[in-house]
Amino acid sequence: MEDKEMLTIREMCEAFDVTPRTLRFYEAKELLFPLREGQKRLFTRRDRGRLKLILRGKRFGFSLEEMRQLLDLYDRGDAQEEQLKRTYEVARDRLAQMERQRDELNEAIEELRGQLQWGADMIASFRRPAAE
């Protein structure tokens, strides 16, 4: 027994800084599978592992659905080469997607920066177009 084997919902929340609602929501979405002691949920080491990956995925911009698919894919026992490659590709695609997003953002930034350079012009561009 290194840590506690099982964590209550509250302990889990503190450990990962999420709300109970979130954990129940993730369970409903089949991202976590806590055991039950009577009514109460008990989160296993496996749940902790999954949650850690889920949160990491979120930082990367994966949706919960994408994470569920990835987790499911590699949870059915022996992940084979073929499937490992797919995960890898999903991650690569996501990276490319994020880079495109960043580039678009950069363009918008440059465009806006350009407007600001002109100062008064920027302001003028927000005035009503001429007179009537």
35 binds, among its own copies, DNA, none (CB under 5 to 8 A by kind): none
Nearer to its own copies, 36 or 76 (CB): 76
Residue type, 94: R
Rule CB under 7 A: say whether 85 interacts with DNA.
no
* Secondary structure element (H or E) that encloses residue 51, with its range: helix 45-60
112 binds, among its own copies, DNA, none (CB under 5 to 8 A by kind): its own copies
87 neighbors 74 (Cβ within 8 angstroms) = yes
Q: Report the nearest approach of DNA to the CB of residue 12 (Å).
A: 8
- Map residues 45-84 to x or -, x wherever contact with DNA holds by CB under 7 A: -------------x----xxx-------------------
Distance CA 50, CA 57 (A): 10
Nearer to its own copies, 9 or 70 (CB): 70
Choosing from 4, 19, 85, 104, the residue that interacts with DNA (CB under 7 A) is 19
Collapsing DSSP to helix, strand or coil, 7 comes out as: strand
32 neighbors 26 (Cβ within 8 angstroms) = yes
Contacts 24+ apart (CB under 8 A), 97-100: 97/61, 98/60, 98/61
Where on the chain is the footprint of DNA (CB under 7 A)? Answer: 8-11, 19-22, 24-25, 38-41, 58, 63-65
